[in-house]
Structure 1
Amino acid sequence: MDSRRDFLQKLGLSAIALPLIPLSGLASSVENFGERYDGPVLRVAIMGLGGYANRVAEAMQSCVRAKLVGVISGTPGKITTWQSKFNIPEKNCYNYENFDKIKDNADIDVVYVITPNALHHDQVIRVANAGKHVICEKPMALNAKEGKEMVDACKKNNVKLLVGYRMHFEPKTLEIIKMRKNGDFGKVMFFQGLCGFKIGDPSQWRLNKKLAGGGSLMDIGIYAVNGARYMVGEEPTWITAQETKTNPVVFKEGVDETIQFQMGFPSGAVASCLSTYNMNYLDKFFLTGEKGFAELQPSTGYGPIKGRTNKGELTHPHLTHQTVQMDEMAQIILEGKQPVVPVDGEEAVKDMKIMDAIYLAASTGKKINLKG
């Protein structure tokens, strides 16, 4: 198992045979199945043509509001393959040296950056300076400072910056958030987030501090960081964390193997989370309150997500996450739609601040208080 994406892909294999449902809005996706859409379409160029980029591109073939029209890659062979596979014109193909020229290309609205973490900062800023909207895969940057610089650059250029939080559009996840807001669980007391798998190839970029910015926390633990916030519905006020490393040969200095972290929230709710590259079968969210509970397992894989609450099983149909994400993001960019859970750069910076604090807490053994 070479990466988180391989792991998540295996979790979602059972969903491959399910039909992709064209969306004209998440809330009414099932009711509007087959409905013709004649509105504006977001024209997308993907930067970085690796495994996850391929998954996004495949999913976008079922989008009604977003269309893949361009590519940016440092590998000419990949560009040629994508041109043939996805019918991409030569004029919409760029490399990492010349992609600033997209500012003169009126046929591209947004660039989706799907490259190693350390490259996001500079690439997003270059895209923003070219006057194009940006979608950036998570984690958005190596730290909160970089993230804020990216947000500021997009604001300066009057373009939107969104981050690939696909779970923010997932139906079972949104149902739990709705129930929590409606008070179905009563006062929230506790959240647990478990995210992990055994990583494969020790030479991959995810185990390179300079490219990844860390280890399991940056790659998959971010799901628990972000999930704690939207499941509890509050921002944490303190962080504690502990790191465990059993294989320093594979997990070198600055690349975390396993991190446990705890968070406290203003209401008194607490969270206990684990992020690891050394244990399989960890993909679970659990929320409990004074009146009920909610559980997702798997909670962040490519699907189908499985969930239940004290009121019974969640039975929402599976929708391919990346298809939903791109159609929803098209509405955010083109129509100003406000999602239930934000996916903008400011949302991502909040996660980066927490992750900065987790690393600090793990390295110092101290409880880190977060500023409001």
Structure 2
Amino acid sequence: MAAASSALPLHAEPQKPLRFAPVGLGDISDIFMRACAQSSKCKVTALVTGHAKEKAPKYEALYGISPKNVYNYENYDEIAHNPEIDAVYIGLPNSMHAEYTIRAAKAGKHVLCEKPMAISSKECQQMIDACRENNVKLMIAYRVHYDPMWQQIRTLARSGAIGEIQGFQGGFYGIKMHGWRLHPKLSGGGSLLDLGIYPLNAIRWFTGEEPEHFAAQVTPKVPGTRFAEVEESIEFNMRFPSGILASSGSSYGENAPAYLSVDGTHGNLWVEPAFYYDGLKYHGTTIHGPVSGVSPGKQPYQFVYEADHFADCVRYNRTPATPGEEGLKDMLAIEAIYRAAGAPIA
């Protein structure tokens, strides 16, 4: 109980920033730390890394982090005894999300975990259970949900302005990946888990429904190439209980955009570029006439919004808009897509 109570004092001091320890110091954690530096509600006060000598000094200098607050993966559980840490940000390879979320929960620290939440629905449920049992918040970092323009687009789509929603087309293509993402023991899968999760989640968010029928095709794994173990490209179709149809895909190889099309009985909304860190644009036709918008936000603005939301959830004991259950629903859909493609991952 003593460890769990260390995560709760913010209720008494609402002006105090939520103090984070990023776990893993790769590119995504670097962006998150820059976001915290722009936030009045969040602050980076500790680090967890397997490469402390090489990586920690840079961030110690940038954010005023004490060397005593730098941990490695072996002594990670000691964060339980550090009152200068309220929460962790999990920016590790996908297969490590579950372990380090569960260990943080047992240490009494709140968890903001990158997507995909884990590499199986079983792991997702274990993460949810651990955070609930230890009375800590769990939020999955679906930054799109916290972008004001994305919220505006979703509200417009669901308002009746394009009539009744009939279908979606979307995709995230063309990001040339390397490193751990091409190794299933770390990534859990290929472009679907990394890129395709964006249009999948956006479609689920817009419909407010869970898909019930799936069809999919995946590029074969090619021995001796970068894609010997994970898929390079995947295309999938979904049908929702209301009858809405959706078609989407992702690829590490195809030179194509990141986009989402929302098609109604009386109009359409087209979002492109859709899923990058900035540059968000949309246009369309509605029953009221043409619409369009360009987000003025610059990286890492979406990360600032999501970090601030999480801080408010901890401070005021609210349930995050994208809790662990949201990550679990995505993973259940992802598993179904892979099964439909004849390439099950779980």
User: Normalising by the residue count of structure 1, what TM-score does the alignment of the two structures yield?
Assistant: 0.83
Change (3 A) 1:356 1:332: same
Rounded Cα–Cα distance in structure 1 between residues aligned with 2:317 and 2:141: 17
What amino acid does structure 2 have at the position aligned with 1:344? P
What amino acid does structure 2 have at the position aligned with 1:45? A
Per the alignment, residue 363 of structure 1 pairs with 342
1:344 has 2:323 as partner: yes
Within 5 Å, which residues of 2 pair with 1:1-372? 39-76=15-52, 77-201=54-178, 204-245=179-220, 247-252=222-227, 254-310=229-285, 311-318=290-297, 320-337=301-318, 342-363=321-342
Change (3 A) 1:103 1:231: same
Change (3 A) 1:171 1:248: farther
SS in 2 for 1:363: coil
1:295 positional shift:
1.4
Change (3 A) 1:124 1:40: same
What amino acid does structure 2 have at the position aligned with 1:238? H
SS in 2 for 1:326: helix
1:364 positional shift:
6.7
What amino acid does structure 2 have at the position aligned with 1:72? V
8 Å CA contact 1:258, 1:276 repeated in 2: yes
8 Å CA contact 2:94, 2:116 repeated in 1: yes
What amino acid does structure 2 have at the position aligned with 1:331? D
Rounded Cα–Cα distance in structure 1 between residues aligned with 2:268 and 2:161: 9
1:248 positional shift:
4.1
Report how many aligned residue pairs link the two structures: 324
Rounded Cα–Cα distance in structure 2 between residues aligned with 1:248 and 1:296: 36
8 Å CA contact 1:140, 1:163 repeated in 2: yes
8 Å CA contact 1:176, 1:231 repeated in 2: no
What amino acid does structure 1 have at the position aligned with 2:185? K
SS in 2 for 1:67: strand
- Sequence identity (%): 37
Residues 272-329 of structure 1: per-residue CA shift (max 9 Å, x gap): 0011111123200110111221111011101120112313112453251111211122
SS in 2 for 1:142: coil
SS in 1 for 2:311: helix
5+ residue gaps, structure 2, are 1-13
8 Å CA contact 1:120, 1:140 repeated in 2: yes
8 Å CA contact 1:124, 1:150 repeated in 2: yes
1:198 positional shift:
4.7
Alpha carbon RMSD of aligned pairs, Å? Answer: 1.8
Rounded Cα–Cα distance in structure 2 between residues aligned with 1:246 and 1:215: 10
8 Å CA contact 1:191, 1:287 repeated in 2: yes
Change (3 A) 1:337 1:364: closer
What amino acid does structure 2 have at the position aligned with 1:65? K
8 Å CA contact 1:191, 1:232 repeated in 2: no
Change (3 A) 1:246 1:47: closer
Change (3 A) 1:200 1:168: closer
Change (3 A) 1:126 1:287: same
What amino acid does structure 1 have at the position aligned with 2:224? V
Rounded Cα–Cα distance in structure 1 between residues aligned with 2:276 and 2:193: 16
Rounded Cα–Cα distance in structure 2 between residues aligned with 1:278 and 1:315: 28
User: Normalising by the residue count of structure 2, what TM-score does the alignment of the two structures yield?
Assistant: 0.89
1:225 positional shift:
1.2
Rounded Cα–Cα distance in structure 2 between residues aligned with 1:145 and 1:188: 32
SS in 1 for 2:341: helix
What amino acid does structure 1 have at the position aligned with 2:308? D
What amino acid does structure 2 have at the position aligned with 1:206? R
5+ residue gaps, structure 1, are 1-37, 366-372
1:185 positional shift:
2.0
What amino acid does structure 1 have at the position aligned with 2:133? K
Rounded Cα–Cα distance in structure 1 between residues aligned with 2:147 and 2:256: 21
